[in-house]
Structures are given as C-alpha cells and as structure tokens.
Chain A
C-alpha cells in the first residue's frame, strides 16, 4: 500500500492516511445513526457491530429503508455516526474534522453512486481526473492515468465525451474509473446497478469482481439477489440492524469474449 500512496503529493501525508495497521479495513463498534428531523427522531442504524477485512467482496442487502444507504454514507465518510466508533484502516474517523474526512475520501475510498453523480458538461476524462486533481497530482500524470483507467473500464475511446453523450452503463463505468483514480483500498457502491438494465448491471458486477481479485475491498449495496450472487459475503439488514451475515460462493464471471458493449475489452490489469 505504501508504494501506491507514495509520491502522491509533495507534502507529507498525515498518519491517518499513511498508517495501514489493520487487517480489518472496516470495524464498526456499536455504531448508531439517528436522523433528527425536528419533530421526530428516526433511528437509521441501531448499534451495528461489523468487521470487513481487507480484500473482501461484500453485498449489503435489505428492503428499502432498512438503513443500507445510511451505512454506506458513514462507511464512505460522507456522513458521521451519531454514536459508536468507525475504524477505517484502524483509525477512528468519528473524531475527524471535515477537511480530514475529505482527505480520507480522496485517498482511501472510491464511492460509486446509483445516480452516477458525474459532473455535467465535464468530459469523462476530466471527471476521472478530479480525485487526482484534489490529490494535487500533476496534469500529465493525471491525464495519463485517467486515460488508462477509462481504457480499463472499456471507454478508452470515449474519454472526451460529455456525460450526457454516454449511456447509463457507460456513465457508471466512468464513475468507477473515477472511484479508482487514487487507487483507494476501499470501493463502496450504493446500488450501482439500480439505474441500469440487466446487461449493463452484469458488466458492472464483473468489473467489481475483477477489482476484488486484484485486491480491492468492495462493498456493494443491492436489493437484487442476482447482483449479490457475484459477491463472497452477504450481509442482510432490516430496520437498521444486521439480520444475517453469511458467506456466499460467488457466481463465476463470464469470459471476456462474451462481454457485451466492450469496445476494447474490459482489461483490469494493474499498471
């Protein structure tokens, strides 16, 4: 990990970025999230205890409103827990200020949203460059790596396209390329296939499978069994609590030849 993070910026990175002491990439201890909507308090998560190891491929399942997104937002350091502890790579992020959380999101987490969340009127290339821009990488390096990433997700020829010129599946692949920009150890995806048809969904999941095989820890929220079938562990939620947590024998990804819409082949070799 050190080698990946080395040379990102001229300034020395703080300890919470460079220390990788834990084999438990994610550890939640009595985590509670309360939404205070003024009139009433909604319990989003009720005392969650959960550990995800480095290199796991996990599906989070559950009905709508069961707290999946709430959990993902906290895991992604976009939101803070109301109580309890969240240790990311052994560091408690609950106590961090917003700029420290920005740095964590930038270096340690790749987030993929259901609604893609690409910046409009900004090319695929520029979108993928953004996390590297905020990591203060130089322009040449940024562009080179962004092109590589786009090629890896099969969009090498679409680098200059604007988001509105791409299909849903393609947009989501741009978003994945962007999430991978700073080589984060953790990839979080909240219903990444929710807005996609079956073929595109399968493509996205195959991409995650390959990333997982390369060592990235992947956590995917879904309510479709077919999607969860790709993963190695399925955690089911109900009413803000863990209902079950069981290993899964992953579905074998299809061969490369049959991958649809793969203009350049989906090649996910690390460079």
Chain B
C-alpha cells in the first residue's frame, strides 16, 4: 500500500513536472544551502585539521602566562632550562627547541632577498615531514658547533640563487648584528595545496631557511617560549602538565602562572568557531525550508481541489479517510524529499566543485545528507497534513459531482 501510494505520488509529480519543480524550489534552495554551508564548515574543519596535523598535533609552546603581572627575568627560558627538561623527561619528548625566529636580508651576488630564519634542532625531521631533495639536513654537529649552515626550500633557493639545487652555495646575512657567510647544505621541497598557499600566502619573493637554533639563542640569552613535541599523543596532556609543574617549581612560581599553548587546544577553538558559524547560517537556511514547506502546502491545496473528482471516485470504490489522507501525505512528503535530494545534489555538488578548484577534498557527511533529506520529508509531511485532511474529509457524493 505504501509502495502503491508512492507510485501514485510519482505519477502525480510527473503529470505536473514544471509545477512540481517550482513547488520543490523552496526546499531545493533550503536544503541546498543547508548542505553546502554545513559541508563548507566540515571541509574547513578537515582542512584545518590537516594543517594542524602537518604542524604536528603533539606540538605545544610553554611560556609565562600573559595574565602574570610581576614578570621577572627568571620567567624566561635559557638553554639550561631546556637541558634540565630534557634530562628529566627524556624520551617522552620527541623534540624541543627554543622557538627562535629571525628575519634578515640574504645577499647573494646582486640578489637581495628577505629571509626568515627558523632556529631548529637537528632531529626536527622526526616531528616534521621534510622532503629533502638535495644535500643533507642539519646534523648534531651543526647544532653543537653553531655552524653557519642552512637548509632551505626549493622556492627560496630559486629566489635567492636563481636555481633549485643550491647545495654548497653561500650567501651573506646579518643576524644579531654580525654579518656572516652562510652555507646551504640541503634543499627540501615544500608541498602545499593551492588552498594552503591561499591561506598562508605563497612564498613568491621571500625566502625561508632552517638554521641551528643555537645560532639564534646563545649562550645566556633569555627566550620567551619553549617549543615541544610530545612523543606520544595519548600521553601528551599528562606530560605537558608535568613539564609545567616542573618548570614552575624551578622558577619559584605556581603551575597556573605558566601557559602551555597546545595545537590541539587551538584546533578545538577553530572547530568550535566553525561549528558555531555553520549552526548560525544553517539556522537561517532552515527558515527557507519553512517557506518551502508553505509553498508545498499551497500547491497541495490547489492539487486537492483539482482532484476533487478523483477523490470522489476513490471514495466510491472504498477508500477510507485514512487511505486518502495517506495518499496525499505521501505525495507532499515525496515532493519535499525530492526537493531535498535535488538540493543535496546541488549543494553538495557546488561544494565539491569549489573544493576541487581550490585543491581540497570536500567533506560531505552522509549523516548530514540523510538528515537533510529526512528533514525535508518531514517538512513535506507536516505541511501536507492540512491539505491531506481536507482531501480526506470530502463527502463522496459532493466530490463526484464536482466539475
């Protein structure tokens, strides 16, 4: 019987193709926008998650809390602090450096390129994917010996030297007031999606290079933060808490005075923000579903009047109130669900096309699709109740007389 009703509904929709489509339009637009907004949110989430995963989800920065007013010299870090942390926590920490950056012009022949130098330890490739294409990465000797060796990416090499493979080439730059010659020992290739390039800005003119962190932090410099990578993601919260307690104690402070900025927390807040945005805009889009539902009710009322005679015939053959009610409810639910499906295809398709244009894999959750189509069917059912009950209540003889 349900199947029979569905077939009837489909044939009724087919008979009035254009009208059915126009009726669905509200639902199509409503569901289309809900699907695309939610999917854009989900896609952004997954993109950010990907970015964070690349940065390293176990990454954290330890620093004095911005809320602490009475700052002391000892609140900052030294290489000794790092050594003590390393000693105590050992293998639980996969990687640690002084989070040191410097910016300066790099000079090669007549070329002058603005470079940013990232001070890192030799085992940085353990926690970051570095696709070395020429030469070697910085080694322990470079770090301990404070050698003026650098590793840069292909684009930076191209910008500075005019060629990709610049291993062995030297350039001059001024770090901490000293003009020195630096030697390129390795070249790596950065793989970034067009979307990442868009988000973070493509490095078209400038340059980036890894240098031993000991060059930027020596010997009794105080630095603001320590960068850490926990070895085990599952234990990182505990580890970071312990490190905080240890550092606070060694500096004569309470653990609450220190701040452990984890990538995971940041990820959570971005997700929360995206989720909130999607909810808000999705709510507005849901209003268009309401409008779509009213459109369906309107057309169903017209349809019921037009088909008064058919209703009379059906009743004369033994259709009960319930039978007619279900027939028209099925029809409005199917119209609405069809609109929902078309809307899903449109919204989802748009997000997928947009995503592929930006080089991102769009995330369209099946659960969201099912919910949207289901919800549109419910909208159809709800707004079909009044027209269907109007149809079902018709008196058979009156309905048969209707011209």
Contacts and interface: CB of A to CB of B under 8 A. Distances in A.
Co-complex (A, B): yes
A235 B152 CA distance: 110
B193 interface: no
B112 interface: no
A41 B4 CA distance: 43
Nearest to B399: A78
A78 B397 contact: yes
The 4 A-B residue pairs with the shortest CB-CB distance in the complex, in nearest-first order: A106-B318, A134-B318, A102-B320, A79-B397
A103 interface: yes
A133 B4 CA distance: 8
B318 A102 contact: yes
Interface stretch (B38-46, B80-88, B200-208, B307-315): B307-315
B239 interface: no
B317 A136 contact: no
Contacts, number: 60
A243 to B, nearest CB: 25
A37 to B, nearest CB: 13
B318 A119 contact: no
Interface string B313-326: 11111111111000
Interface string A74-104: 0010110000000000000000001100110
Given A117-B313, A131-B317, 14 more contacts: A76-B316, A78-B316, A98-B320, A102-B321, A103-B320, A105-B317, A111-B316, A117-B309, A118-B313, A119-B313, A134-B314, A134-B320, A135-B318, A182-B318
A157 interface: no
Given A121-B15, A136-B1, A73 B318 contact: no
Nearest to A105: B318
A130 interface: yes
Contact of B321 (A76, A99, A122): A99
A177 B1 CA distance: 21
Contacts of A133: 1, 4
B11 interface: yes
B319 A134 contact: yes
A113 B316 CA distance: 11
B396 interface: yes
6 contacts: A76-B316, A78-B316, A103-B320, A111-B316, A119-B310, A134-B320
A202 B187 CA distance: 100
B321 A134 contact: no
A107 interface: yes
A113 B400 CA distance: 10
B317 A130 contact: yes
A178 interface: yes
Contacts of B11: 121-122
A136 B5 CA distance: 13
Central interface residue in A79, A102, A134, by most chain B CB within 10 Å: A102
Interface in B2-19: 4, 11, 15
Interface string B104-119: 0000000000000000
A178 B323 CA distance: 18
A133 B277 CA distance: 50
B319 A102 contact: yes
A157 B315 CA distance: 28
Contacts of B314: 119, 130, 134
A118 B312 CA distance: 11
A26 B60 CA distance: 92
Contact of A99 (B1, B15, B310, B320): B320
Interface in B261-319: 309-310, 312-319
A136 B318 CA distance: 11
Contacts of B321: 98-99, 102
Contacts of A107: 318
Contact of B396 (A78, A118, A131): A78
